[in-house]
Amino acid sequence: MRLLPSLRQKKRYLVFEVDSSQEFSLKEIKDAVQQALDLFLGQLGRAKSSPLFLSEKFNLQKQRFLMKVNHKYVDEIKSALILIKTIKNKPVLLKSIITAGTIKKANEVLKK
């Protein structure tokens, strides 16, 4: 049995870019993101925002990644990720590129 559209969780797609002199692997970035979300939102906030790191959409050359989140918690997720200052003791800067309502639009920006 499917949920009615009015009962489904609305989502947004966030594209972020890691700005650093060094390239990082998917696992390193994913671990840093999860740790930042736990520190900033806590377990309850993380459960409510339901962030999903889309590993198959990771762009290694441009160091961009895509996250799917609840539409009510977009600002909180952005705040948590922008506070990441280091990955593997290397200074980094995370930039929010776009917030999209569809994965198609987010993919276009991810590949540019």
Indicate the pTM of the whole model.
0.91
Domain locations in the chain? 17-111
User: In this predicted structure, what is the pLDDT of residue 79?
Assistant: 96
Q: Tell me the pairing of strands 93-100 and 11-19.
A: antiparallel
User: In this predicted structure, what is the pLDDT of residue 28?
Assistant: 96
At residue 47, does pLDDT exceed 90? Answer: yes
Quick one: pLDDT band at residue 1, thresholds 50, 70, 90?
Answer: confident
Residue-wise pLDDT for 91-106, tens only, equals 999 999 999 999 999 9
Is 2 in a helix, a strand, or coil? coil
Residue-wise pLDDT for 54-112, tens only, equals 999 999 999 999 999 999 999 999 999 999 999 999 999 999 999 999 999 999 998 88
Angle between helices 74-82 and 26-49 (to 10 degrees): 140
- Specify which residues 99 forms β-bridges with: 14
CB atoms within 10 A of CB 28: 15
> If one looks up domain 17-111 in CATH, what number appears?
3.30.70.3250
Residue-wise pLDDT for 3-16, tens only, equals 998 998 999 999 99
